[in-house]
Structure 1
Amino acid sequence: MMDFKDFLMDSFEEVEEIEREITMGGRKRKMKFKPIGATTGDEIRKKCRKVTIAKGQKIIETDQDKYIANLIIETTTYPDLKNAELQSAWTVMGAEELLNAMKAKMSDGEYAEWSSIVSQVNGYDKGMQELIEEAKN
Protein backbone atom coordinates (compact mmCIF):
# COMPACT_ATOMS: atom_id res chain seq x y z
CA MET A 1 0.00 0.00 0.00
CA MET A 2 1.28 3.46 -0.88
CA ASP A 3 1.58 5.99 1.88
CA PHE A 4 2.53 9.66 1.64
CA LYS A 5 4.51 9.22 4.87
CA ASP A 6 7.23 7.60 2.75
CA PHE A 7 7.88 11.10 1.41
CA LEU A 8 8.01 13.03 4.66
CA MET A 9 11.29 14.82 5.32
CA ASP A 10 12.13 12.50 8.22
CA SER A 11 12.01 9.47 5.91
CA PHE A 12 14.89 10.82 3.77
CA GLU A 13 18.22 9.55 5.05
CA GLU A 14 21.44 11.54 5.26
CA VAL A 15 23.98 10.04 2.88
CA GLU A 16 27.22 8.90 4.48
CA GLU A 17 30.72 9.62 3.23
CA ILE A 18 32.23 6.89 1.08
CA GLU A 19 35.91 5.99 1.34
CA ARG A 20 37.73 4.73 -1.74
CA GLU A 21 41.33 4.05 -2.57
CA ILE A 22 42.46 5.44 -5.89
CA THR A 23 45.78 5.76 -7.68
CA MET A 24 46.94 9.34 -7.88
CA GLY A 25 50.40 10.52 -8.81
CA GLY A 26 51.55 6.92 -9.08
CA ARG A 27 50.49 5.94 -5.52
CA LYS A 28 47.36 4.48 -3.95
CA ARG A 29 45.67 7.07 -1.74
CA LYS A 30 42.61 6.88 0.49
CA MET A 31 40.03 9.53 -0.31
CA LYS A 32 36.53 10.32 0.91
CA PHE A 33 33.52 11.33 -1.12
CA LYS A 34 29.98 12.47 -0.42
CA PRO A 35 27.26 12.80 -3.06
CA ILE A 36 26.01 16.28 -3.76
CA GLY A 37 22.34 17.22 -3.55
CA ALA A 38 20.28 17.85 -6.67
CA THR A 39 20.13 21.59 -5.90
CA THR A 40 23.93 21.78 -5.81
CA GLY A 41 24.03 19.81 -9.06
CA ASP A 42 21.74 22.39 -10.67
CA GLU A 43 23.99 25.20 -9.44
CA ILE A 44 27.08 23.52 -10.89
CA ARG A 45 25.36 22.94 -14.26
CA LYS A 46 24.26 26.61 -14.40
CA LYS A 47 27.81 27.71 -13.57
CA CYS A 48 29.14 25.61 -16.47
CA ARG A 49 26.63 26.77 -19.08
CA LYS A 50 27.29 29.04 -21.99
CA VAL A 51 24.29 30.64 -23.68
CA THR A 52 24.58 31.98 -27.21
CA ILE A 53 22.08 33.27 -29.74
CA ALA A 54 22.46 32.06 -33.31
CA LYS A 55 19.92 33.00 -36.00
CA GLY A 56 17.41 33.96 -33.32
CA GLN A 57 17.76 30.61 -31.54
CA LYS A 58 18.96 30.33 -27.97
CA ILE A 59 21.72 27.70 -27.76
CA ILE A 60 22.71 26.35 -24.36
CA GLU A 61 25.99 24.45 -24.14
CA THR A 62 27.55 22.85 -21.07
CA ASP A 63 31.32 22.80 -20.65
CA GLN A 64 31.67 19.13 -19.67
CA ASP A 65 35.28 19.46 -18.48
CA LYS A 66 34.37 22.36 -16.19
CA TYR A 67 31.30 20.45 -14.96
CA ILE A 68 33.35 17.35 -14.08
CA ALA A 69 35.99 19.49 -12.34
CA ASN A 70 33.33 21.23 -10.23
CA LEU A 71 31.65 17.90 -9.47
CA ILE A 72 35.01 16.53 -8.27
CA ILE A 73 35.57 19.60 -6.07
CA GLU A 74 32.13 19.42 -4.47
CA THR A 75 32.04 15.61 -4.05
CA THR A 76 35.58 15.01 -2.75
CA THR A 77 35.57 15.61 1.00
CA TYR A 78 39.08 14.29 1.72
CA PRO A 79 41.29 15.85 0.74
CA ASP A 80 39.26 19.05 0.92
CA LEU A 81 40.22 20.88 -2.26
CA LYS A 82 38.89 24.11 -0.73
CA ASN A 83 41.40 23.91 2.16
CA ALA A 84 43.66 26.99 2.15
CA GLU A 85 46.59 25.11 3.72
CA LEU A 86 46.50 22.42 1.04
CA GLN A 87 46.24 25.08 -1.67
CA SER A 88 49.20 26.91 -0.15
CA ALA A 89 51.26 23.70 -0.14
CA TRP A 90 50.63 23.46 -3.88
CA THR A 91 51.30 27.24 -4.26
CA VAL A 92 47.88 27.87 -5.76
CA MET A 93 44.81 29.80 -4.67
CA GLY A 94 41.36 28.31 -5.13
CA ALA A 95 39.91 24.82 -5.46
CA GLU A 96 39.88 24.80 -9.27
CA GLU A 97 43.52 25.87 -9.40
CA LEU A 98 44.42 23.14 -6.88
CA LEU A 99 42.59 20.53 -8.93
CA ASN A 100 44.44 21.67 -12.07
CA ALA A 101 47.80 21.52 -10.26
CA MET A 102 47.05 18.01 -8.99
CA LYS A 103 45.80 16.98 -12.43
CA ALA A 104 49.11 18.10 -13.97
CA LYS A 105 50.91 15.57 -11.72
CA MET A 106 48.52 12.72 -12.57
CA SER A 107 48.23 10.44 -15.56
CA ASP A 108 45.14 10.87 -17.70
CA GLY A 109 43.90 7.46 -16.56
CA GLU A 110 44.27 8.42 -12.88
CA TYR A 111 42.18 11.56 -13.43
CA ALA A 112 39.63 9.49 -15.35
CA GLU A 113 39.45 7.06 -12.39
CA TRP A 114 38.84 9.98 -9.99
CA SER A 115 36.10 11.43 -12.16
CA SER A 116 34.56 7.96 -12.61
CA ILE A 117 34.40 7.42 -8.84
CA VAL A 118 32.82 10.86 -8.38
CA SER A 119 30.23 9.98 -11.03
CA GLN A 120 29.47 6.66 -9.31
CA VAL A 121 29.17 8.30 -5.88
CA ASN A 122 26.63 10.74 -7.34
CA GLY A 123 24.55 7.97 -8.89
CA TYR A 124 25.64 8.41 -12.50
CA ASP A 125 27.05 4.89 -12.68
CA LYS A 126 24.12 3.23 -14.38
CA GLY A 127 24.41 2.50 -18.04
CA MET A 128 21.61 3.18 -20.49
CA GLN A 129 20.73 -0.52 -20.72
CA GLU A 130 20.30 -0.73 -16.91
CA LEU A 131 18.02 2.30 -16.96
CA ILE A 132 15.90 0.75 -19.74
CA GLU A 133 15.57 -2.51 -17.80
CA GLU A 134 14.55 -0.61 -14.63
CA ALA A 135 11.96 1.33 -16.60
CA LYS A 136 10.48 -1.90 -17.95
CA ASN A 137 10.03 -3.33 -14.43
Structure 2
Amino acid sequence: MSNFKAFMKENVRQADPVELKLERFTESIKLRPLTSAESDLINDRCFKNKPGRKGRQERVFDPVAYNRGISVASIIYPDLNDTELQKSYGVKGAEQLFGAMFWVGEASQISEKVSEISGLDHALEDEIEEAKN
Protein backbone atom coordinates (compact mmCIF):
# COMPACT_ATOMS: atom_id res chain seq x y z
CA MET A 1 0.00 0.00 0.00
CA SER A 2 1.34 3.43 -0.87
CA ASN A 3 2.03 6.16 1.62
CA PHE A 4 0.25 9.27 0.35
CA LYS A 5 1.97 11.33 3.08
CA ALA A 6 5.01 11.39 0.81
CA PHE A 7 3.07 13.94 -1.26
CA MET A 8 2.37 16.29 1.65
CA LYS A 9 4.03 19.66 1.17
CA GLU A 10 6.26 19.29 4.21
CA ASN A 11 7.60 15.98 2.87
CA VAL A 12 8.41 17.13 -0.66
CA ARG A 13 12.02 17.96 -1.48
CA GLN A 14 12.40 21.65 -2.27
CA ALA A 15 14.35 22.60 -5.37
CA ASP A 16 17.64 24.40 -4.90
CA PRO A 17 18.31 27.52 -6.96
CA VAL A 18 20.26 26.87 -10.15
CA GLU A 19 23.08 29.14 -11.25
CA LEU A 20 23.46 30.21 -14.86
CA LYS A 21 26.68 31.94 -15.88
CA LEU A 22 26.27 34.48 -18.65
CA GLU A 23 29.48 35.62 -20.28
CA ARG A 24 28.95 39.39 -19.90
CA PHE A 25 28.38 39.33 -16.15
CA THR A 26 30.96 38.60 -13.48
CA GLU A 27 28.40 36.80 -11.30
CA SER A 28 25.98 34.04 -12.17
CA ILE A 29 22.25 34.65 -12.13
CA LYS A 30 20.16 32.36 -9.94
CA LEU A 31 16.98 30.71 -11.15
CA ARG A 32 14.26 28.71 -9.51
CA PRO A 33 11.78 26.31 -11.10
CA LEU A 34 8.22 27.49 -11.54
CA THR A 35 5.12 25.76 -10.28
CA SER A 36 2.27 24.85 -12.57
CA ALA A 37 0.11 27.52 -10.92
CA GLU A 38 2.71 30.22 -11.62
CA SER A 39 2.96 29.10 -15.23
CA ASP A 40 -0.83 29.17 -15.56
CA LEU A 41 -1.00 32.77 -14.31
CA ILE A 42 1.70 33.85 -16.74
CA ASN A 43 0.00 31.91 -19.53
CA ASP A 44 -3.32 33.68 -18.86
CA ARG A 45 -1.64 37.09 -19.13
CA CYS A 46 -0.19 36.17 -22.53
CA PHE A 47 -3.54 35.99 -24.32
CA LYS A 48 -4.75 39.12 -26.03
CA ASN A 49 -8.07 39.83 -27.73
CA LYS A 50 -7.63 40.89 -31.33
CA PRO A 51 -10.17 41.60 -34.02
CA GLY A 52 -10.83 38.48 -36.02
CA ARG A 53 -13.14 37.44 -38.82
CA LYS A 54 -16.43 39.25 -39.17
CA GLY A 55 -15.52 41.63 -36.34
CA ARG A 56 -15.40 38.90 -33.70
CA GLN A 57 -12.76 39.03 -31.06
CA GLU A 58 -10.21 36.20 -31.08
CA ARG A 59 -7.88 35.25 -28.27
CA VAL A 60 -4.30 35.14 -29.54
CA PHE A 61 -1.41 33.68 -27.54
CA ASP A 62 1.89 35.59 -27.42
CA PRO A 63 4.72 33.03 -26.95
CA VAL A 64 7.37 35.76 -26.65
CA ALA A 65 5.52 37.31 -23.71
CA TYR A 66 5.14 33.86 -22.13
CA ASN A 67 8.87 33.08 -22.39
CA ARG A 68 9.73 36.48 -20.97
CA GLY A 69 7.19 36.05 -18.17
CA ILE A 70 8.50 32.66 -17.04
CA SER A 71 12.08 33.91 -17.27
CA VAL A 72 11.38 37.00 -15.15
CA ALA A 73 9.40 34.97 -12.60
CA SER A 74 12.18 32.43 -12.16
CA ILE A 75 15.10 34.85 -11.67
CA ILE A 76 15.78 35.21 -7.97
CA TYR A 77 19.21 36.87 -8.29
CA PRO A 78 19.66 39.61 -9.20
CA ASP A 79 16.33 40.94 -7.98
CA LEU A 80 14.73 42.38 -11.10
CA ASN A 81 12.33 44.37 -8.90
CA ASP A 82 15.21 46.29 -7.32
CA THR A 83 14.64 49.98 -8.08
CA GLU A 84 18.37 50.79 -8.05
CA LEU A 85 19.05 48.11 -10.68
CA GLN A 86 16.11 49.32 -12.77
CA LYS A 87 17.34 52.90 -12.46
CA SER A 88 20.81 51.89 -13.69
CA TYR A 89 19.23 50.63 -16.94
CA GLY A 90 16.78 53.53 -17.16
CA VAL A 91 13.64 51.39 -16.93
CA LYS A 92 10.78 50.70 -14.54
CA GLY A 93 9.49 47.22 -13.86
CA ALA A 94 11.00 43.75 -13.85
CA GLU A 95 9.96 42.83 -17.40
CA GLN A 96 11.34 46.07 -18.83
CA LEU A 97 14.58 45.50 -16.92
CA PHE A 98 14.82 41.96 -18.30
CA GLY A 99 14.50 43.34 -21.84
CA ALA A 100 17.11 46.04 -21.29
CA MET A 101 19.55 43.99 -19.25
CA PHE A 102 19.86 40.81 -21.29
CA TRP A 103 20.81 40.37 -24.92
CA VAL A 104 18.49 38.21 -27.00
CA GLY A 105 20.86 35.21 -26.83
CA GLU A 106 21.12 35.53 -23.06
CA ALA A 107 17.33 35.76 -22.78
CA SER A 108 17.12 32.58 -24.82
CA GLN A 109 19.61 30.81 -22.53
CA ILE A 110 17.60 31.89 -19.49
CA SER A 111 14.33 30.69 -21.02
CA GLU A 112 15.87 27.33 -21.95
CA LYS A 113 17.29 26.86 -18.45
CA VAL A 114 13.95 27.77 -16.83
CA SER A 115 12.20 25.23 -19.07
CA GLU A 116 14.80 22.61 -18.14
CA ILE A 117 14.66 23.10 -14.37
CA SER A 118 10.85 23.37 -14.40
CA GLY A 119 10.53 20.11 -16.31
CA LEU A 120 9.10 21.60 -19.49
CA ASP A 121 11.86 20.26 -21.71
CA HIS A 122 11.37 16.63 -20.66
CA ALA A 123 7.75 16.52 -21.73
CA LEU A 124 8.55 18.01 -25.13
CA GLU A 125 11.46 15.62 -25.73
CA ASP A 126 9.26 12.67 -24.78
CA GLU A 127 6.55 13.80 -27.19
CA ILE A 128 9.07 14.17 -30.01
CA GLU A 129 10.46 10.69 -29.39
CA GLU A 130 6.97 9.24 -29.18
CA ALA A 131 6.01 10.91 -32.47
CA LYS A 132 9.11 9.46 -34.16
CA ASN A 133 8.14 5.93 -33.15
- Normalised to the residue count of structure 1, the TM-score between the two structures is 0.76
Q: Is the 8 A contact 1:34 1:77 kept in 2?
A: yes
Report how far residue 32 of structure 1 moved: 0.5
Give the residue type in structure 2 aligned to 1:34: R
Q: Give the structure 1 partner of residue 15 of structure 2.
A: 15
Report the more deviating stretch, 58-67 or 69-78: 58-67
Counterpart residue identity of residue 4, structure 2:
F
Name the CA distance, whole Å, in 2 between partners of 1:91 and 1:34.
26
Unaligned runs of 5+ in 1: none
In the other structure, the counterpart of 2:87 is 88
Q: Give the total of aligned pairs.
A: 129
- The reply to whether residue 125 of structure 1 matches residue 121 of structure 2 is yes
Deviation of 1:56 after TM superposition, in Å, equals 9.5
Give 1:111's match in structure 2, choosing from 107, 110, 132.
107
Alpha-carbon distance between aligned partners in 1 of 2:12 and 2:53, rounded to the nearest angstrom: 43
Cα distance in 1 between the residues matched to 2:121 and 2:115: 6
What whole-Å deviation, never above 9, does each CA across 1:78-103 have from its counterpart, x for those lacking one? 11111111001111111111112124
Unaligned runs of 5+ in 2: none
Query: Residue 2 of structure 1: SS of its match in structure 2?
Result: coil
Share of identical aligned residues, percent? 30
Of Structure 1 and Structure 2, the greater strand share is in 1
User: Using the alignment, how far apart are the partners of 1:71 and 1:8 within structure 2?
Assistant: 26
Once the two structures are superposed, the pairs formed by residues 72-83 of structure 1 within 5 Å of their partners are 72-83=71-82
In the other structure, the counterpart of 2:5 is 5
Kindly indicate whether the alpha-carbon contact (under 8 Å) linking 1:22 and 1:114 is maintained by their aligned counterparts in 2. Answer: no
Judged with a 3 Å threshold, the aligned counterparts in structure 2 of structure 1 residues 28 and 120 are, in CA distance, closer, same or farther, namely farther
Structure with greater contact order relative to length (CA < 8 Å, sep ≥ 6): 1
What's the secondary structure of 1:100's corresponding residue?
A: helix
TM-score, structure 2 normalization: 0.78
Q: Give the match for residue 41 of structure 1.
A: 39
| Alignment partners' CA distance in 2, 1:21 and 1:129 | 24
Q: Which residue of 2 aligns with 1:67?
A: 66
More helix by percentage: 2
Distance 1:84 1:114, change over 3 A: same
Task: Calculate the aligned-residue CA RMSD, in Å.
Answer: 2.7
